[in-house]
Amino acid sequence: MDWRNETEALTLKGQIKIPYTWSVGETGSRFLVALRDEQKILANRCPQCGYELVAWAVREAEVMGREPATPDEARVILGTVINCGFLCV
């Protein structure tokens, strides 16, 4: 007999904090590097109509009464600000 069939599974609910790092991949890296180094947002275009998806997102934010993030704000939100030693973001 297998002991796993005779044993009740017990669980303990809780929270732990684990620092981790992950890769954003080739596409994510190109996007984040362009945002950091060139202060521009790379956008995809709809293959059918050619509409730029960043422009769509800006329009939708404005329709909802929200102002789109500036390039500097977007870099902070996306975590691409390099710690200069004086300002930790």
Asked if residue 56 lies in contact with residue 66, where contact means CB atoms within 8 angstroms, the answer is no
Is 50 exceeded by the pLDDT of residue 87? no
Domain ranges in the chain? 24-77
* pTM summary value: 0.43
Q: Is 58 exposed, middle or buried (0-12, 13-18, 19+ CB in 10 A)?
A: middle
Asked if residue 67 lies in contact with residue 54, where contact means CB atoms within 8 angstroms, the answer is no
pLDDT confidence of 43, banded at 50, 70, 90? confident
70 secondary structure, DSSP code: P
